[in-house]
Amino acid sequence: RRLAVNAAYTRGDFYDAKRQTIRSTVTWKPSYRARFALETIYNRLERQNPNNGSSYFNETLIPRLRMNFSLSTDVFINTNFQMNTDRGTPGDTWHLRTIVSNFLLAYTMQQGHTFLVAYNALADDNFDLKGHRRMRPASQTVVAKFSYLLNL
């Protein structure tokens, strides 16, 4: 299919809290070599304290974009971009907590050997040295891997 839409709703108990999750995905394949997927995950967690009547509330919203490209039968590229947002009460505005992105280039040789290069980046809003919360690069990683298949 060139266009696919999936959705799911779940609810139930999570330890002593009530949880609701809504997940939706729209996938578009403009050609047999390319695929784009936009996914959204909404999660709501509510917990009542039986001792004093206080409650805990948390909502998270995670939009994610994935892209896959096959340059040939041996070479492909995968990318992922995700934002994690949350809010502590129903009336609050959404707060951006983290941004995660990664990129993978893979090459598979005829003998079964593979070569991979990956880049991962994380930005978050943790407190800096001055006690401020602002979006900042938290980690970046580049990994190269070569796998050799032994033909015994």
Contact 43, 19 (CB under 8 A): yes
> From CA 97, how far away is CA 88, in angstroms rounded?
12
> From CA 75, how far away is CA 73, in angstroms rounded?
6
Q: Full-prediction pTM beyond 0.85? A: no
Specify the pairing of strand 75-87 against strand 95-108.
Answer: antiparallel
Going by C-alpha positions, the residue among 79, 80, 10 that lies closest to residue 42 is 10
Write out the chain's pLDDT in tens, 152 residues.
799 999 999 999 888 788 999 999 999 999 999 999 999 999 988 887 777 766 777 888 899 999 999 998 899 999 999 998 888 777 788 888 889 999 999 999 877 789 999 999 998 877 666 666 677 788 899 999 999 888 77
DSSP annotation of 94? P
